[in-house]
Structure 1
Amino acid sequence: MSRFFVLFALALCAFTLPAKAELATRDQMASMIVPPFSLGEALNDKGVYQLLNSGGAEAGFVFETEQMAALPGFSGAAINMLVTLDPDGRFLDVKLLSHNEPIFVSGLGEAPFHKFFEQYRGMSISDSLVVGTPYGRGGAGSDLVYLDGVTKATASVRIAHESLMAAALQVAREKMSGIASGPPVKPNADITDVLDWDTLVADGLVGHLYMTNAEVDALFAGSVWSDDDPEATAEPDAPFIDLWLVDIGAPAIARAVLDADGFDELQRFSEISGDDEPLLVIETARHGLVSEDFVRNTAPDRLSAEQGGFPVALRDADLFVSLSRDLPRELRNGTAMILRTDRRLGFDPTQPWELHAQIVREHGMFQPEIGIRNVVLTHSTDARFYTRPEAIKPLPAWREALLNRQSDLIPLGILLIALLAVQGAALKPLARLRNFVPLRLVILGVVTVFIGWWGQGQLSIVTVLGVIRTVWEGGNFGFLLYDPFSLAVWAAAIIGFVAWGRGLFCGWLCPFGALQEFAHYIGRALRLPQIEPSALWDARLKYVKYVLLAGMIGTVFWAPNSVDKVAEIEPFKTAITTFFLREWYYVAYAAAWLLLGTVLFKGFCRYVCPLGAFMAIGGLLRRRDWIERRAECGSPCQLCKVKCNYGAIKKTGEIDYSECFQCLDCVTIFEDPKTCVPRVLEARRASRTPPAQVAAE
C-alpha cells in the first residue's frame, strides 16, 4: 500500500505545474511607497524602480526581492520583501510583502516577522550584517553588525535575510555603480617618511597633465570650434592646461605639499570627515580649475573623475589651501583647491583612477554652440601609504546557524548517538530491564522538553513538502541548513529508516508523539475506559494518513500558497512550537488529540499523521527484520499481537514495520521467560520431564 502512495505522489508531480512568482504592477508598487517619496520609472524587467523625492529627483531605488533572490523558505515558497535603498546603499525601508513560513502564518503571528525587518533602516549593504548574537571572538569589538532574530523562527529570518541581501547587492552592482563591496582603505598614519616635492615626483605620487594651445586646437580640428580661441592661435606653444594632482589623504604626503597651517586644517577636516579622501589640484595655466559660475562646497564643473568605469563623486572640500614653501614657485603662484571623495562609495586611491578635465569652447555670439573635449590624467598612490582592513565577511548562513546553536547541538548529538548506539548494540538488554517502561518515559520526557519545547526540533511534514516543491521548481536546498537542530534529528530519523524503519523517530524522537504516550498513561492511571477499533476498522483507519499525505503533496502543485494551511492537520506547531499560545481553535484542536489519547492509544500518530505516513514510506529502506520471532508466534501464540497497542503485529505473528513505533513491548515479552508463552510452556515441559529422560534425550 505504501508503494502505491509513492507512485501516486510521483504521478501528481508529472501532471501538475509549479506556481511562478509574479511582479507587482506599477500601481501596486506605487501604493506601497510612503510620502514624501514616490515611485519613478521602471529601470529593468525585474521590478526595479526609481525612488523619487518630493521634488521629483531620484532618491534611490525600489524593488521586490523575489524576482532576484527567490530563496525557498520552509514551505518551499520564497519570502518576498519590498526594499527601498538610497543612492549610497543604505536601507530606507524594508517591508514584508508575502511569505508562507508556517511559524509566522499561524504560529507566532506576523508581528515578530514585520518587526525583524525594522532593524534594517539606516544600515548599509556594505555593512557586515548577520542574524544572531555575538559568539566567540565576534563580540562587541567585532565589525559584524548583528540583527536580532526571532525566537523559534531564527531559521526563517535567516532565509529572509539572505534573500534580502542577495537582491540588494544585485541592485547595487547593476544600478549603483560604485558602492564598495568591502571596507575602504584608510590612510596609514604610521608612515612617517620625510618627503619633499622632488621625491613625490620621482616616486610617481604627483600626477601632471600638460597641454599646449596647439595640442588643444588639435582636439577641435575640423569642427566649428577650431578657430574659436584666438589666444591659442596667437601663441600655439604656450601652455593651455598645466594641471598637477596630489592625493593628500596620506599624512606623509600632505605634510610634504602643505605648510604647517594647511596641514593642521587638513587634519581637523580628516577627523570630522574620516571617510573622505582629500585631493589637491593645482593649475598654473589658463584653463583654470572651475568656471566663473562655480559655487564653493559643490562639485567642480570642469573636473570629474572615474575609476573602473564607474563615476567618482568629487566635491570641493571648502578648505583654505596653504602650500609648502618647498614647492616650485610656479605651483605656489597657481590656482589650488582641495577636492574630496568618499572612499565608502568605492573609491580606492591605491588603484588607477582618472581625473577628467573639461575643455569648453563656444561658437557664435547669440545662443552659441558649445563644444566640449575631455582630457584625462591617470593617477594612483602607492599602496604603502594606506592600510586595507581585512574584509569582514559573514560566515555562510549554515555556519552561523551551527555556531549560534552549538550549545544545543552538543547535548543533542550526545543524546542521538547514545540512543542509536543503545538501540543498535543493546536492544535486547534494554528491553529486558526491569524498569524499562519508566526509563522509556524518562527518555520521552527529555525528548519533549529538550528536543521539542527547548530545541524546537519537532519535525514536520512542512519540511517534506518544501523539499518536494524545491525539487519540482529546481530550487536550492540550502534552507535545510538554516535549522541544524532539526536537521540533526532528521539525520537520526533517516539512519533509523535503514536500521529499524519508521520506529526510531515515531517511537522515540517525536515530541508530540511522546505527549500522546503520556496522555495514554494518564488515562490508564485515571482508569478511563479505553477505545480500541476492531481489526477491520483499525486497518481501514491506518490508510487515512496516506490519503492525507497524498493530498498534501498535491497541494504543493495545485495550490502552493495553501500548503501552510493544510499543514495545520499537524498539531505540532501548537503543542510544541508555540507552547499552546495560539488562537483558541488551534489550541482546542491540539488539546482534543491529547484528550483523545487518554482513551485511544496515540490515535493521531496511528491514523492521521501525514509525517508518520512519510516516515512509514521512508521505512521501506529498512534492510532487516530486527524483531525476532519464534515458530509459535502467531500460531498458536497471539500474546504479542494482543499486547501491541499500535496493532503492528499480524495474526501470523509477523511484524508490520510500517506501523511499528519501536516501543519494544513485544521484544520485552519475547525476552521474558515468565511472560513469553512458548518459553513458559517449554519451561513447564522441562520441569515435568524426569532428569534421566532429559539426559537420555
Structure 2
Amino acid sequence: MIRFLLIWLAFATPLCAEVLTRDQLSAMILAPYELGQPVNDKGVWTLLNSGGGEAGFVFETAPLAPLPGFSGAPIDLLVLLDREGRFIDVRLLHQNEPIFVSGLGEAPFRAFLEQYRGHSINEPLVVGTPYGSGGTASDNVYLDGVTKATASVRIAHDSILAATLAVAREKMQGVGAGPAPKPDPAHDEALDWKALLDQGLVGRLQVSEAQLDAAFKGTTWAHDGAGADPEAPFIDLYAIDLGPPSLARAVLAPETLAEIARFTARAPDDELFLLIEAGQHGLVSEDFVRNTAPDRLTAVQDGLPLVLRDADILPELAADLPPELSDATKMVVRLDRRLGFDPTRPWELRLQAVRQHGMFQAEVGSAHFPVALQTPERFFLRPAAPERLSPFAEALRNRATDLWALAGFLALLIAALLTQSRLAGLRAFTPVRLTILALVIGFVGFWGQGQLSIVTVMAVARGLVAGGLEVLLYDPFGLAVWAAAGLGFLLWGRGFFCGWLCPFGAMQEFAHHAGRLLRLPRIEPPRSLARALLWTGPIAATGLIAVAFLAPEHAEAAAELEPFKTAITMHFDRPWPYLIWAIGWLAVSTVWFKGFCRSVCPLGAVMRLGGLLRLRAFIPRRVECGKPCQLCKVRCAYGAIKPTGEIRYSECFQCLDCVAIHDDKSRCVPLVLAAKRARRVA
C-alpha cells in the first residue's frame, strides 16, 4: 500500500512544468520582436524582428538546465538572446523558492534579472554580492546579488548561464554541446619539468617591459610606468593542466597533490589549472577576494567566455622544479566542464595588465595578453553522457569562513554538553546558557541563516519520492546544522537542537525571561490539555508534507505556520499579518514557556521522530526520583518528567535544570535527607 502511494505521488506531482506552447510564448514577446519557429523540443524558438528576419533565439531555462531549487523544482526563466549573443531580456516564468514566495517577494528577484539586459554572453558574468568583487578595471562583470537569497540567486544565475551557453554553442557557433572529457585516472606517464616544456604541456606567456609599452603606445597611459628595463620580464606566466594525474604529479608537492585529490573528489567536474607568474605583474589585484572569479584573468573558448574561478588552494611546487618558480606568484583556478569547457580543444587564457594615469581619481587603462592552451586528448576519457551540475563545492567554498566558525561553535557546544554535570553545576549556568542562546540567534540565525525549517523536510520528502535532493547542497551552512542535529539525535535526542540550536526557540526563551523580569504571571495549561497539545505538532507536520505532495503550489503559504521565516530569515521585515503571528508567539512565551515549541511546531514533531535514534538515557536519576521526590518534575518547565520520575525524552529540551538539581547537595531532596541522616549518626 505504501509503495503504491509513493508511486502515485511521484506521478501526481511532477517536478518540472511542461514547455510553454506557441500561444503562451507569443503573448510574452513584445514589439519589435515576434516569435518564429521552434528549433527543438526543449523550448528553443527563433526570434524574428519587425521585418520578419531572424533576430535571435527565445528559450526557457528549465528544459535546458533543470537545476533544482529549494522547492525541488527548477527556476524557469525566459531568455531572449540576439544573434550577437546579447541578452535582450531575461524574465521570470515560474519559481517556488521559499524566500521569494512569501519572504522577500518576487520584486528583488525580478530586479536581479533585469541586470542581464544588454550584457553579452561574451562577457564573464559573475554574481558579485555577496561573493566579493575584484579590483579596479576588472574584466569581470559583477551582478548585484540579493541579500538573504544567496543560494536561490546562485541557482538562477547558473541556470541562465548553462542554458544560454548551450544554445549559443549549438546554434550560434556551430559547436556541438556534447559531453566534456574527463581526465583518465589510468593514464600514467613519467614526466618532469623538462619533459613538460619539451612536449608543449606547459602554456607560457612572456611579455617584456618593451612589449607592455608597445601595447599602451599612443594611449593616455603610454608613459605611465615606463622607464623600466625594456628587456625585463613584466609577465612570465606558466599554465599547467592539473586534471591529468601525470601532469599534476610532475609539478606539485605531495601535500598539494593530496589537497587536489580531495578537491576533485568533492567537485569531479572541475578542471584545475596551476598558474605560476614569475614576472612583475602577478595574477590578481590587491582587492581580489579568494573563492571568487579572478579579476585580472579571463578565459575564452569558441568565442564564448568560460566561467573561471579561484579554487582556494595554496599550491606547493615539486622539489625538482626550477628554484626561481618557488618565489613566484602561484594560484590554482578551476573551469567547469559541465558548462561546456573542453580542455582538449583550443582555448585562451587572457591576462589583463592595468595602468593608471593621474594622481587623484586616476584614469584606468588596460591591455590584454592571451596565451593559447590545449591539453592532448591522450590524457582524457570522453564520457558517453553529460552529468548533472553539482553546486556543493562552489557553495562550500563561498561560505568557508562561516562554516569554520560554525564548526568551532558546535565543537565547543558538544564538548560542553558531553560534560553536562559540570556545565549544569556552574554557579553562572543561566548567564552561560543565555550567552550561548544569544550566539545561536545572532550567528546561527540572523547571520548564518541556519534556522532549520519544515520547508526543508517537505523538499526532502518530495525529493525522496521524485528524485533530486541537490537543493540541500546550495546551503552548506544549513546542512551543517542538520548534521549537528542528527548527531544530537544519537547523543541526546531532540533536545540538542530544540534546546540549544534553534534560533526561534532561543528567542522564546529570552521572551520568557523578559516575562519574569516584568513580573508577568506564568501560565501552564491543565495537564490533560498540555498532553493533547503535544499532538498538534505531528498533525501540522503531516498536513504540511501532504500539501507538499498534493498541492505543491500552496506548500510555501502553508509553511507560514512556522514563524521562523518572519523572525529569523526576514528579521521581522514583513507585512503585518506575518508579524502578528511571529511576535504573538513570542508574547505568548512570556507567560507560557516556549508555547510554540510545545504545541504547534511541525519541525519539533520531526525532531521528536529523530529523537527515537537516541542511544542512551543521558539524564541521571535516583531510585528516590518520583518515589517520593517530585522536585525535578515540579521544576521542569517542559513537563517532560513523569510522576514516576522517568524522563520523557521526546519532550525533553535538554535545559539541564534537573541535572543541576540532581547534583546539588543543597537542593536534591534525597541528598539533603542523606546529609541529615549522616549528621544525626555523627
The TM-score normalised by the length of structure 1 is: 0.65
* Paired position in structure 2 for 1:44: 40
Residue of 573, 578, 597 corresponding to 2:565: 573
Q: In structure 1, what is the Cα distance between the partners aligned to 2:567 and 2:50?
A: 50
Please give the alpha-carbon distance, in whole angstroms, between the structure 1 residues aligned to 2:651 and 2:72.
Answer: 29
Aligned partners of 2:390 and 2:470 also within 8 Å: no
Offset of residue 133 of structure 1: 4.6
Q: In the alignment, residue 470 of structure 1 is paired with which amino acid?
A: G
Alpha carbons of 1:556 and 1:135: their partners in 2 closer, same or farther (altered >3 Å)? Answer: closer
- Which aligned pairs between 1:611-650 and structure 2 lie closer than 5 A? 611-650=603-642
Between the aligned partners of 2:609 and 2:561, the Cα distance in structure 1 is 19
**Who is 1:284 aligned against?**
none
* Residue number in structure 1 paired with 2:579: 587
d(CA) in 1 for partners of 2:38, 2:59: 10
Task: Find the counterpart in structure 2 of residue 531 from structure 1.
Answer: 523
Which sits farther off after the overlay, 400-409 or 44-53? Answer: 400-409
Matched, 1:71 2:67: yes
Q: Deviations over 1:451-489 (max 9, x none)?
A: 2122222111111111111222212x3322222222222
1:164-211 CA-partner distances (Å, limit 9, x unpaired): 222223323443343699xxxxxxxxxxxxxxxxxxxxxxxxxxxxxx
- With CA pairs under 8 Å and 6+ residues apart, which has the higher RCO, 1 or 2? 1
Q: Does the CA contact (< 8 Å) of 1:644 and 1:665 recur in 2? A: yes
Counterpart in the other structure of 1:131: 127
Secondary structure at the residue paired with 1:83? Answer: strand
* Aligned residue type for 2:458: L
* 1:240-267 per-position Cα deviation (integer Å, ceiling 9, x unaligned): xxxxxxxxxxxxxxxxxxxxxxxxxxx9
Could you say what secondary structure the match of 1:683 adopts? helix
Structure 1 residues 180 and 18, CA gap change in structure 2 (3 angstroms):
closer
Which residue among 9, 20, 34 is the counterpart of 2:30?
Answer: 34
Distance 1:167 1:129 in 2: 14
Letter of the 1:445 partner, please give it. Answer: A
Alignment-derived partner of residue 90 in structure 1: 86
User: Paired residue for 2:163?
Assistant: 167
For residues 474 and 674 of structure 1, what CA distance do their matches in structure 2 show? 57
For residues 281-311 of structure 1, the C-alpha deviation after alignment (integer angstroms, 9 at most, x for no partner) is xxxxxxxxxxxxxxxxxxxxxxxxxxxxxxx
Report deviation, 1:601: 0.8
Alignment of 1:407-418 (within 5 A): 407-418=401-412
**Root mean square deviation, CA, Å:** 3.1
CA positional deviation for 1:600? 0.8
Q: CA deviation at 1:15?
A: 4.7
Question: What is aligned with 2:548?
Answer: 556
1:680 and 1:123 map into 2 onto residues whose CA distance is 78
Q: Distance in 2 between matches of 1:656 and 1:649?
A: 6
Quickly say closer, same or farther: Cα 1:170–1:471, change in 2 above 3 A. farther
Does residue 458 in structure 1 map to residue 451 in structure 2?
yes
Give the conservation status (yes or no) of the 8 Å contact 1:528–1:598. Answer: yes
Q: Secondary structure at the match of 2:103?
A: coil
Query: Deviations for 1:3-25, whole angstroms, at most 9, x for unmatched residues?
Result: xxxx99x8863552223512222
**Which of 400, 419, 425 in structure 1 is aligned with 2:413?**
419
Residue 187 of structure 2 aligns with which residue? none
Deviation at 1:111, TM superposition (A): 1.2
Unpaired stretches in structure 1, ≥5 consecutive residues = 1-6, 182-266, 269-341, 348-379, 691-697
Distance of 1:649 and 1:399 partners within structure 2: 44
CA contact (8 A) 1:83 1:94 kept: yes
Q: Is the 8 A contact 2:122 2:303 kept in 1?
A: no
Distance 1:602 1:652, change over 3 A: same
Which residue of structure 1 aligns with residue 432 of structure 2?
439
Give the aligned partner of residue 20 of structure 2: 24
**Cα distance in 2, alignment partners of residues 586 and 400 from structure 1:** 34
- Report the Cα distance in structure 2 between the residues aligned to 1:615 and 1:39, rounded to whole angstroms: 52
Residues 136 and 456 (structure 1), Cα distance of their counterparts in 2 relative to 1, 3 Å cut: closer
- CA gap of 1:567–1:129, structure 2 versus 1, over 3 A, is same
Conserved in 2, the CA contact under 8 Å of 1:179 and 1:346?
no
Checking the alignment, whether the CA contact within 8 Å between 2:101 and 2:556 is kept in structure 1 is yes
Equivalent AA in structure 2 for residue 32 of structure 1: M
Give the SS at the match of 1:59.
strand
User: What is the rounded CA distance, in whole Å, between the counterparts of 2:397 and 2:129 in structure 1?
Assistant: 10
CA contact (8 A) 2:70 2:459 kept: yes
* Contact 2:173/2:302 (8 A) holds in 1: no
**What are the Cα deviations for residues 124-144 of structure 1, in whole angstroms up to 9, with x where unaligned?**
345443334587996557654
Runs of at least 5 residues in structure 2 that lack an aligned partner in the other structure: 178-217, 220-299, 306-344, 349-368, 376-388
Say whether the 8 Å CA contact 2:61–2:163 is kept in structure 1.
yes
What is the identity percentage for the equivalent residue pairs of Structure 1 and Structure 2? 59
Q: Name 2:481's counterpart in structure 1.
A: 489
Q: Aligned equivalents of 1:633 and 1:468: distance in 2?
A: 41
Conserved 8 A contact 1:88-1:179: no
Q: What corresponds to 1:398 in structure 2? A: 392
SS at match of 2:653: coil
Query: Quick one: which amino acid aligns to residue 13 of structure 1?
Result: L
Check the 8 A contact 1:18/1:472 in 2, yes or no: no
Determine if contact 2:80/2:87 at 8 Å carries over to the other structure: yes
Compared with structure 1, are the counterparts of its residues 568 and 437 closer, same or farther at alpha carbon in structure 2 (3 Å cutoff)? same
What are the Cα deviations for residues 61-109 of structure 1, in whole angstroms up to 9, with x where unaligned?
Answer: 1111122222221122321111111223332211111111111111112
Whether the 8 Å CA contact 1:107–1:574 is kept in 2: the answer is: yes
* Cα shift readout 1:128-161 (whole Å, capped 9, x = no counterpart): 4333458799655765443221111101111112
1:154 corresponds to 2:150: yes
Contact 1:401/1:484 (8 A) holds in 2: yes
Q: 1:530: how far off?
A: 1.7
Q: Does 2:669 correspond to 1:677?
A: yes
Which position in structure 1 is the counterpart of 2:422? 429
Using the alignment, how far apart are the partners of 2:658 and 2:36 within structure 1?
A: 72
Q: Is the 8 A contact 2:121 2:304 kept in 1?
A: no
Q: 1:452 and 1:467 mapped to 2: Cα distance? A: 21
Deviation at 1:36, TM superposition (A): 0.7
Equivalent in the alignment of 1:357: none
| From 369, 377, 388, the counterpart of 2:372 | 388
Out of 499, 511, 524, the residue aligned to residue 519 of structure 1 is 511
Q: Is the 8 A contact 1:132 1:404 kept in 2?
A: no
Which of 56, 61, 74 does residue 60 from structure 1 map onto?
Answer: 56
Is 1:115 matched up with 2:111?
yes
Residue 530 of structure 2 is aligned to residue 546 of structure 1: no
Check the 8 A contact 2:130/2:147 in 1, yes or no: no
Q: Distance in 2 between matches of 1:523 and 1:40?
A: 67
Corresponding residue for residue 213 of structure 2: none
Change (3 A) 1:164 1:661: same
- 1:603 aligned residue: 595
Does the residue aligned with 1:388 lie in a helix, a strand or coil?
Answer: strand
Q: Is the 8 A contact 2:572 2:579 kept in 1?
A: yes
Give aligned pairs, total: 487
Does residue 663 of the first structure (1) align with residue 663 of the second (2)?
A: no
Larger Rg computed on CA atoms: 1
After TM superposition, list the pairs within 5 Å mapping 1:1-400 onto structure 2.
13=6, 15-16=8-9, 17-19=12-14, 20-133=16-129, 139=135, 144-178=140-174, 345=303, 387-388=371-372, 397-400=391-394
Asked whether the 8 Å contact 2:130–2:145 carries over to 1, the reply is no
Shift of 1:581: 1.0
Task: Give 1:529 deviation, angstroms.
Answer: 1.5
**Cα distance in 2 for residues equivalent to 1:577 and 1:589:** 15
